[in-house]
Chains A and B, each alone.
Chain A
Amino acid sequence: MAAPVSSPMKERREHTSLKGGEYWRGMLYGVLPLAIVAAIIALAIMLAALVRQLIGVWAFLLQQQVVLIILGSGVVLALVTFPCALILTLRHVARWQRDGQIERARAALWTLVVSALMILLPTLLAFVLP
């Protein structure tokens, strides 16, 4: 029984798809810290808006306290979760680098850099916009 011989074209295609999968997996881990923070902040803002609607302006002081507690908790939760997610991603990156999964590690690191730029963007805009 002769082993099936794969053509060079098929090999290249398999290699490319494998590489693509590696990138996607790396990006998925890279985007994790930003995604978690964005989800927490979005949830906090939506909850605050809901509370503002439910309580109404006639009980402004109560409304304000609740809104500030929700948003403050959101910020604290985001600030605690962010480093945890970042450490988790970097541990994976270190393992991939040790195992020679360089594409995956590189994709994760570049995604983290892009995340940093996205986080910085509002502040940069405030500096740049008139």
Chain B
Amino acid sequence: MSTHLSSVKTEPPSPMTERRHRRIRWLVATFLAASMLVTTAYTVTSAYIATQLVQRAQLPYHTTPANYHLTFRDVSFPSREDHLLLRGWFLPGMLADGRMTVQHTIIMVHGYPGNRATESVGLLAIAQGFVHHGFAVLTFDLRAAGQSAPAPESMGLFEQRDVLGAVDFLQSGPLPYPQLGRPQAIVGWGVSMGASTLLLAAAREPAIQAVVSDSAYGDVVSIMRASLPYHSHVPSLFALGVFQTTNAIYGVDLSQVRPVDVVSKLAPRPVFFIHCDSDHTVPSAQMERLAQAARAVPGAHVQTWLITGGDHAQAFLKTGDVYINRVVDFYTAALGAMSATASSRL
């Protein structure tokens, strides 16, 4: 035993061996420090991008329905489940004889970033078109948008609760025109993130009887992975870090935002997908994926409209009245066919 102990403790190393040991220690320390620095830089950059994505300044709106000579009232209601305060406008539909109606009401859902009056997609001009065709409109700020409550933006994951809150409000909330009664039919219109959010909400809520989905994505992760270099000026290899830190810091699991997985649940309710073929943010292939998934079940009623030449969410600005007429025709056909069951459900 004593022989072994003496063999463990040996003579001091020669200067050359000591130099070699020092060099090895230095190499290991440098490798470790470099690894730490690279990973820290990657994580901090990812966290910064995640913060930019999830927590943005709430955009104010500069126009109101009054700019479009529309009758409207301010409304507020809570989101379903987490009860965040949401604010919006309720616009009664105008019949040809000048009477107001809320019989058929459209919930309009804006995109990201945006609010209830997003001008870049002509949101209030679209609302004006609907109102003049006799449809009432509820347009509101999603969470973290306009005048609604601050919250993490989640590309539809949590925002679907806001759409469900809008349905609850129309069904049982204090409507601003009590003399007009309650809507007999509720339908949805959404653009971009709003469209994807609407699809997620409609899959859970049968009271939404028809959906117009303009420029929706079917799977947000693939879109964000592709658009990260363009929007955040970093290579797409940061995507994994961004998704992980978004989940770790904000509790937003973007991989769950997949309308393509639930869109088939809308059947037999009709769905109308609209997309521009030169969309650089959400490629039109996303519409094809969504339409294919929606048609995968028997009894599905799915229409698509691919518009030539427009960029992201520019369908209305590209086609104007044609857009309004096609959407109104779609709603009219949908509600005409479903009015008997709809009135009993509502």
Question: Which residues of A are interface residues toward B (Cβ below 8 A)?
Answer: 6, 11, 14-15, 18, 22, 33, 37, 45, 48-49, 52, 57-58, 60-61, 64, 67-68, 71, 75, 79, 82-83, 86, 90, 93-94, 97-101, 105, 109, 112-113, 115-117, 119-120, 122-123, 125-127, 129
A-facing mask of B35-47, CB < 8 A → 1, else 0? Answer: 1101110111001
B251: which A residues are within 8 A, CB to CB? 49, 52
Query: Given A60-B151, A64-B55, A79-B40, is A86 in contact with B241 using a C-beta cutoff of 8 Å?
Result: no
- In contact, A14 and B84 (Cβ under 8 angstroms): no
**Is B240's beta carbon under 8 Å from chain A?**
yes
B296: which A residues are within 8 A, CB to CB? none
Option from B32, B40, B47, B249 in Cβ contact (under 8 Å) with A112: B32
Option from A14, A60, A64, A120 in Cβ contact (under 8 Å) with B149: A60
Query: Given A18-B8, A113-B31, A116-B31, is A97 in contact with B149 using a C-beta cutoff of 8 Å?
Result: no
B18: which A residues are within 8 A, CB to CB? 97-98
Question: Which residues of B are interface residues toward A (Cβ below 8 A)?
Answer: 1, 3-4, 8-13, 18, 21-22, 24-25, 28-29, 31-36, 38-40, 42-44, 47, 51, 55, 82-84, 144, 149-152, 158, 237-241, 248-249, 251
- In contact, B8 and A100 (Cβ under 8 angstroms): yes
A68: which B residues are within 8 A, CB to CB? 51, 249
B252 → A minimal CB distance (Å): 11
A82: which B residues are within 8 A, CB to CB? 36
- In contact, B32 and A86 (Cβ under 8 angstroms): yes
Pull 25 A–B residue pairs with CB atoms less than 8 Å apart, ordered by A.
A14-B1, A15-B4, A18-B8, A57-B84, A60-B144, A60-B149, A61-B150, A68-B249, A86-B32, A94-B21, A98-B12, A105-B21, A109-B28, A112-B29, A112-B32, A113-B31, A115-B32, A116-B32, A116-B34, A119-B39, A120-B35, A122-B42, A125-B240, A126-B241, A127-B237
> In this complex, which of A15, A18, A48, A97 has the most chain B Cβ atoms within 10 angstroms of its Cβ?
A97
Docked complex Cα distance between A97 and B18 (Å) = 8
- In contact, A126 and B152 (Cβ under 8 angstroms): no
Option from B4, B31, B158, B238 in Cβ contact (under 8 Å) with A126: B238
- In contact, A98 and B13 (Cβ under 8 angstroms): yes
B10: which A residues are within 8 A, CB to CB? 100
- In contact, A60 and B152 (Cβ under 8 angstroms): yes
Q: A61-B150, A97-B13, A116-B32 are in contact. List 17 more A-B contacts (CB 8 A).
A: A33-B32, A48-B249, A57-B151, A60-B149, A71-B249, A75-B40, A86-B33, A99-B9, A100-B9, A100-B10, A100-B11, A100-B12, A109-B25, A109-B28, A119-B35, A120-B39, A122-B42
A49: which B residues are within 8 A, CB to CB? 251
A97: which B residues are within 8 A, CB to CB? 13, 18, 21
- In contact, B4 and A113 (Cβ under 8 angstroms): no
A90 → B minimal CB distance (Å): 5
B149: which A residues are within 8 A, CB to CB? 58, 60
B4: nearest residue on chain A (CB-CB)?
A: A15
